[in-house]
């Protein structure tokens, strides 16, 4: 059996993190990939749970050994996904979810073209603005930059297989779960996972 690789991307404020958390609670067959990062742990974070926290030199050594499926530098910190870990999980038949940006998704598709891309959109730019302002954590100029970055990111929606519009959270979660359920039932997947049965049928 081989597992499915789900790649979930979204602009800031679309609700991706909440949707992914709820999905993992309700679909225990899907596990979240834990990225490596060079940033310092935040209060309450544990090594190996939120991230694998490593030094910059260690991260650069992993890059030189081609150990990352995808990696990026964001705001002066490095983030990356272990190529070997992903491959081992899929080979063992486990479904894995990557919560990354569109650039990371492009890198993933080069090595795993069968990865299932899911993009989460807000219902409108106005609603996205309301959510970012409603957080109350960013200054107006920061919000403006986040909105500009979000609009640029949303232009890559056409590179993904599925689009979830997160207007009502319950409905968006149902839609996301439907993608996960249906992906495990497509013909190619079923043929790979049950070769003896399909050898007699096709």
What pLDDT, on a 0 to 100 scale, did the predictor assign at position 93?
A: 87
Angle formed at CA 6 by CA 5 and CA 10, multiple of 5 degrees:
150
Into which CATH architecture does domain 5-201 fall? 3-Layer(aba) Sandwich (3.40)
What pLDDT, on a 0 to 100 scale, did the predictor assign at position 1?
A: 62
Q: What pTM did the predictor assign?
A: 0.86
What pLDDT, on a 0 to 100 scale, did the predictor assign at position 45?
A: 92
What pLDDT, on a 0 to 100 scale, did the predictor assign at position 18?
A: 95
**Exposure string for 108-145, b = 16+ CB within 10 A, e = fewer:** bbeebeebbbbbbbbeeeeebbeebeeeeeeeeeebee
Residues lower than pLDDT 70 in the chain: 1
Rounded to whole angstroms, how far apart are CA atoms 135 and 116? 30
Rounded to whole angstroms, how far apart are CA atoms 170 and 80? 31
- What are the residue boundaries of the structural domains of the chain, listed by start? 5-201
What pLDDT, on a 0 to 100 scale, did the predictor assign at position 138?
A: 78
Taking the CA of residue 139 as centre, how many other CA atoms within 13 Å lie in the half-sphere pointing to its CB?
A: 2
């Amino acid at each position: 059996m081989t597992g499915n690789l789900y790649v979930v991307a979204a602009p800031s404020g679309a609700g991706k993190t909440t949707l992914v958390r709820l999905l993992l609670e309700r679909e225990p067959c899907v596990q979240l990939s834990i990225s490596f990062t060079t940033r310092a742990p935040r209060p309450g974070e544990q090594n190996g749970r939120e991230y694998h926290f490593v030094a910059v030199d260690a991260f650069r050594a992993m890059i030189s050994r081609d150990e990352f499926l995808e990696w990026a530098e964001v705001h002066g910190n490095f983030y990356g996904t272990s190529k070997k870990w992903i491959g081992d999980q899929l080979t063992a038949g486990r479904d894995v979810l990557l919560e990354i940006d569109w650039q990371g998704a492009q890198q993933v598709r080069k090595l795993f073209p069968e990865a299932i891309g899911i993009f989460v959109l807000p219902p409108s730019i106005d609603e996205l603005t309301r959510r970012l302002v409603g957080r109350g954590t960013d200054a107006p100029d920061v919000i403006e930059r986040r909105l500009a970055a979000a609009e640029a990111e949303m232009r890559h929606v056409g590179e993904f297989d599925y689009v979830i519009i997160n207007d009502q959270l319950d409905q968006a979660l149902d839609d996301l779960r439907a993608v996960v359920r249906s992906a495990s039932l497509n013909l190619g997947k079923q043929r790979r996972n049950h070769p003896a049965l399909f050898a007699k049928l096709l």
